[in-house]
Chain A
């Protein structure tokens, strides 16, 4: 799952094209995975290796654009490169608005394809790294004791030790000990960093 090389997920109902593009990308030293339909990819999207999706717009049952919407709903951040045999302007506009990485027309020349894939993968890598950091922070945060999380929540909202102590009904000394302990566990040295983490983990919106 956490492979070093990003994967290009190829979703195309045309076996011949699917095979040819997989072959080309493998020859270009990419890791590839192939899917016959949008549904097949959706089934594994959550657990799929990070990377980008090379998607045929025109497919039976669930089209490329519909797949894009579903992926967005699932919150999986796969950059999508659309490939189409015949693309019209409304279709491409809609795809780009929905966050498509690129919109290419078949037959596509190799440099354009590789450029698009590179762009998508680098974005994927960035977001992948970001997500990794996020996951790390979250797991560290989840190691905190319930009392420590309560203290964290009050501190990042700007409560003084005294106020926090009175709200929680514990002594100011205990508060100070928790703060030191939290900062140590989360690896930060200032209150500002602590607030930033809280924001990234989405803890500020939920007021308790």
Chain B
């Protein structure tokens, strides 16, 4: 079996073999190794089987890493015992021309003969060819599983039935066709390949595919150029070009890299979109291409390895070819303005940045919910605030209406006195007018006296006007308006309403006003109203007092609390103790016709001014009502 395998042509290694110095010695060695291996195998049949993975390339390739990781991940769980897996790297991109496969096989046999290797995995076409040629030298009659090998790699040879694997399709045709569709305005196709043997093999494959394109655009091959030149040429491209590259291992100046690194550099420089055959390129800046991922390939291979380790005959394990899917980097789709609808329906779109909504779904829901709640709360608070404002306005209106009503009532109580005050000048005017008429009829007319009369008429008219003005001021439905007010002046003005009435009723009204009292911040009409209320209240309280003892004193002073203070002192019977608590309540009245508004409104007014109102009985009889008001200099409500 081993002999049969050795007859397979090996593209790369045929050179190596030709250059091998002693073919005969080689053959002898192989025979020796076979014997060794058989012995080892027989000796170790009871021990668990291990897996040897042979890679065409070096360890750092992303594809290698993906294959290795996936195999290790997939195989172990499917096998009932601990599986050891060993990696060997042929590094063909570096040593393809210098390595002696026979020596390598010899080395591997030496290295692994004590181990019970159950399966060899060949990752890459070179590894597969090496394994086919020398596998038996390493471990006789060993089943082979391949991965990352194309159909073309296999087609050149007859594959023994115990070689299992899913071939990959690296033909660029499908990718190039699609790229042309995605970039309908592109007129140039640029192919970038490298300088190593592997690179050249890839180049050949691409040239074949390009030649087979149905309507080939202008094609430029940048094959085996130094990286700097490649980048310069790519930089000069526009969107009218499409770049296709499998990357390269070695550039024209002999610099070695991984294809992925090469593609990264190209993508960074290129003025045109880049397509490629490997999924490991995705994310490096290429748009995409038709490809089977290393992971998917390795998974298939791993399952086959596990089946072999579990004793299933190679012939019973199905295998075939890996289907390619179009994989695309969403960021590049956007960068190059590719029409999304032109992408194949089954395209595997990577790096699609999930929409913000998708990415932060719960956070957004939570925030939205919070916002909604907050909005509701705010709306509620606003509504509440509005309601409160409306209520405040309403209550202020009510209050102002009540205050107005209270003033009207107070004036009503004084109506007799007011009528007297108005009719007095009106009567005088009429008398004077009549007298003047008579004097003018006399002969000679007493013109001097008529002139005097006219003067008197004017004066009386002013007097009547004054009274009317005063009443209108008190009856006006004015809004609450604070200004600097001389409290003493307000007392004087207010008393004008009272004196006539008071003197007729036998009250003597006395004022005791503090000199130089600083102005208070107040609404003069409302404060006048408070004084009027307190004075009328006092007069009502003194109705039963003897005529000589009906004295009402209004006193202003500077209070200790740095406020102005006004006291209304009567000589009545005082406040009965049982009503003392309630006298400032609304609708509480001890008078038969009282509405119980006067004191309650007075308190409301004083408190609205930032002051306080008190009532107390005087030690010598009678009651004193006192209220304070903040001076204008201080801040008041």
Query: A residues touching B (Cβ–Cβ < 8 Å)?
Result: 14, 16-17, 19-21, 23-24, 26-28, 58-61, 63, 83-86, 88, 105-110
Interface residues of B in 404-454 (CB under 8 A from A): 415-417, 419-432, 434-435, 438-439, 442, 449, 453
Q: Are A20 and B424 in contact (CB under 8 A)?
A: no
Q: Is the interface of B mostly helix, strand, loop or mixed?
A: helix
Q: How far is the CB of A62 from chain B (nearest CB, A)?
A: 10
- Whether B187 sits at the interface, judged by CB under 8 Å, is no
**How far is B420's CA from A88's CA once the two chains are assembled, in angstroms?**
12
**How far is B424's CA from A16's CA once the two chains are assembled, in angstroms?**
8
- Whether B456 sits at the interface, judged by CB under 8 Å, is yes
- Whether B460 sits at the interface, judged by CB under 8 Å, is yes
Q: Are A23 and B431 in contact (CB under 8 A)?
A: yes
Q: Which residues of B contact A105 (CB under 8 A)?
A: 423
**How far is B416's CA from A16's CA once the two chains are assembled, in angstroms?**
19
- Contact among A27, A59, A61, A83 with B427 in the assembled complex (CB-CB below 8 Å): A83
Q: Are B435 and A17 in contact (CB under 8 A)?
A: no
Q: Residue of A at shortest CB range from B419?
A: A86
With A27-B439, A107-B426 already in contact, the answer to whether A21 and B431 are too (CB < 8 A) is: yes
Interface residues of B in 184-223 (CB under 8 A from A): none
- Contact among A16, A85, A106 with B456 in the assembled complex (CB-CB below 8 Å): A16
With A60-B503, A105-B423 already in contact, the answer to whether A20 and B439 are too (CB < 8 A) is: no
Q: How far is the CB of B459 from chain A (nearest CB, A)?
A: 7
With A19-B456, A23-B453, A107-B430 already in contact, the answer to whether A85 and B435 are too (CB < 8 A) is: no
Q: Are A24 and B435 in contact (CB under 8 A)?
A: yes
- Whether B506 sits at the interface, judged by CB under 8 Å, is yes
Q: Are B504 and A20 in contact (CB under 8 A)?
A: no
Q: Are B427 and A107 in contact (CB under 8 A)?
A: yes
**How far is B439's CA from A63's CA once the two chains are assembled, in angstroms?**
32
Q: How far is the CB of B60 from chain A (nearest CB, A)?
A: 119
With A58-B504, A86-B419 already in contact, the answer to whether A24 and B424 are too (CB < 8 A) is: no
A-B contact pairs, 23 of them (CB 8 A): A17-B428, A17-B431, A20-B431, A20-B432, A20-B453, A21-B428, A23-B431, A23-B435, A23-B449, A23-B453, A24-B432, A27-B438, A59-B504, A61-B506, A84-B420, A85-B420, A85-B423, A86-B415, A86-B416, A86-B423, A105-B423, A106-B427, A107-B431
Q: How far is the CB of B134 from chain A (nearest CB, A)?
A: 140
Q: Are B460 and A16 in contact (CB under 8 A)?
A: yes
Q: Are A60 and B504 in contact (CB under 8 A)?
A: yes
Interface 1/0s, chain B 453-467, versus A by CB < 8 A? 100100110010000
- Contact among A14, A27, A108, A110 with B424 in the assembled complex (CB-CB below 8 Å): A14
**How far is B449's CA from A58's CA once the two chains are assembled, in angstroms?**
29
With A14-B424, A20-B428, A61-B506 already in contact, the answer to whether A85 and B434 are too (CB < 8 A) is: no
Q: Which residues of A contact B431 (CB under 8 A)?
A: 17, 20-21, 23-24, 107
**How far is B429's CA from A50's CA once the two chains are assembled, in angstroms?**
28
Q: Are A14 and B423 in contact (CB under 8 A)?
A: no
**How far is B506's CA from A61's CA once the two chains are assembled, in angstroms?**
6
Q: How far is the CB of B572 from chain A (nearest CB, A)?
A: 20
Number of B residues near A (Cβ < 8 Å) is: 32
Interface residues of B in 259-298 (CB under 8 A from A): none
Q: Are B435 and A20 in contact (CB under 8 A)?
A: yes
Q: Which residues of A contact B438 (CB under 8 A)?
A: 24, 27-28
Q: How far is the CB of A20 from chain B (nearest CB, A)?
A: 4
**How far is B430's CA from A14's CA once the two chains are assembled, in angstroms?**
15
Q: Residue of B at shortest CB range from A86?
A: B419
Q: Which residues of A contact B416 (CB under 8 A)?
A: 58, 86, 88
**How far is B424's CA from A105's CA once the two chains are assembled, in angstroms?**
10
Q: Which residues of B contact A109 (CB under 8 A)?
A: 430, 434
Q: Which residues of A contact B423 (CB under 8 A)?
A: 85-86, 105-107
Q: Which residues of B contact A88 (CB under 8 A)?
A: 416
Q: Which residues of B contact A20 (CB under 8 A)?
A: 427-429, 431-432, 435, 453, 456, 460
Q: Which residues of A contact B504 (CB under 8 A)?
A: 58-60, 63
Q: Which residues of B contact A16 (CB under 8 A)?
A: 424-425, 428, 456, 459-460, 463
**How far is B442's CA from A27's CA once the two chains are assembled, in angstroms?**
9
**How far is B438's CA from A61's CA once the two chains are assembled, in angstroms?**
35
**How far is B506's CA from A59's CA once the two chains are assembled, in angstroms?**
10
With A24-B435, A61-B506 already in contact, the answer to whether A85 and B430 are too (CB < 8 A) is: no
With A24-B435, A85-B419, A86-B419 already in contact, the answer to whether A17 and B427 are too (CB < 8 A) is: yes
Q: Which residues of A contact B459 (CB under 8 A)?
A: 16
With A16-B459, A61-B506 already in contact, the answer to whether A110 and B434 are too (CB < 8 A) is: yes
With A19-B456, A107-B429 already in contact, the answer to whether A24 and B420 are too (CB < 8 A) is: no
Q: Which residues of A contact B426 (CB under 8 A)?
A: 106-107
Q: Residue of A at shortest CB range from B434?
A: A110
Top 4 A-B pairs, shortest CB-CB distance? A106-B427, A86-B419, A85-B420, A85-B423
Q: How far is the CB of A70 from chain B (nearest CB, A)?
A: 15
Q: Residue of B at shortest CB range from A111?
A: B434
**How far is B428's CA from A86's CA once the two chains are assembled, in angstroms?**
14
**How far is B467's CA from A86's CA once the two chains are assembled, in angstroms?**
15
Q: Which residues of B contact A85 (CB under 8 A)?
A: 419-424, 427
**How far is B503's CA from A60's CA once the two chains are assembled, in angstroms?**
5
Q: Which residues of B contact A86 (CB under 8 A)?
A: 415-417, 419-420, 423
Q: Which residues of B contact A17 (CB under 8 A)?
A: 424-425, 427-428, 431
With A16-B456, A17-B427 already in contact, the answer to whether A27 and B435 are too (CB < 8 A) is: yes
Looking at A17, A105, A108, the one whose CB has the most chain B CB atoms below 10 A away is A17
Beyond the given A107-B427, A110-B434, please list 10 additional residue pairs across the A-B interface where CB-CB is below 8 A. Answer: A16-B428, A17-B425, A21-B428, A24-B438, A27-B434, A27-B438, A28-B438, A58-B420, A86-B416, A86-B420
**How far is B426's CA from A83's CA once the two chains are assembled, in angstroms?**
13
**How far is B428's CA from A20's CA once the two chains are assembled, in angstroms?**
5
**How far is B503's CA from A179's CA once the two chains are assembled, in angstroms?**
61
Interface residues of B in 491-513 (CB under 8 A from A): 500, 503-504, 506
Q: Which residues of B contact A14 (CB under 8 A)?
A: 424, 428
Q: How far is the CB of B388 from chain A (nearest CB, A)?
A: 47
Interface 1/0s, chain B 225-260, versus A by CB < 8 A? 000000000000000000000000000000000000
**How far is B150's CA from A96's CA once the two chains are assembled, in angstroms?**
141
Q: Which residues of B contact A23 (CB under 8 A)?
A: 431-432, 435, 449, 453
**How far is B427's CA from A14's CA once the two chains are assembled, in angstroms?**
11
**How far is B423's CA from A85's CA once the two chains are assembled, in angstroms?**
5
Q: Which residues of A contact B415 (CB under 8 A)?
A: 86
With A58-B504, A85-B419, A86-B416 already in contact, the answer to whether A106 and B424 are too (CB < 8 A) is: yes
Q: Which residues of B contact A84 (CB under 8 A)?
A: 420
**How far is B425's CA from A19's CA once the two chains are assembled, in angstroms?**
11
**How far is B453's CA from A26's CA once the two chains are assembled, in angstroms?**
13
Q: Which residues of A contact B503 (CB under 8 A)?
A: 60-61
Looking at B428, B438, B459, the one whose CB has the most chain A CB atoms below 10 A away is B428
**How far is B418's CA from A85's CA once the two chains are assembled, in angstroms?**
9
Q: Residue of A at shortest CB range from B423?
A: A85
**How far is B420's CA from A17's CA once the two chains are assembled, in angstroms?**
12
**How far is B504's CA from A60's CA once the two chains are assembled, in angstroms?**
4
**How far is B460's CA from A85's CA once the two chains are assembled, in angstroms?**
14
**How far is B456's CA from A20's CA once the two chains are assembled, in angstroms?**
8
**How far is B432's CA from A20's CA once the two chains are assembled, in angstroms?**
5
**How far is B182's CA from A159's CA once the two chains are assembled, in angstroms?**
165
Q: Are A24 and B460 in contact (CB under 8 A)?
A: no
**How far is B459's CA from A63's CA once the two chains are assembled, in angstroms?**
26
**How far is B468's CA from A169's CA once the two chains are assembled, in angstroms?**
82
Q: Which residues of B contact A58 (CB under 8 A)?
A: 416, 420, 500, 504
Q: Residue of B at shortest CB range from A18?
A: B428
**How far is B439's CA from A28's CA once the two chains are assembled, in angstroms?**
9
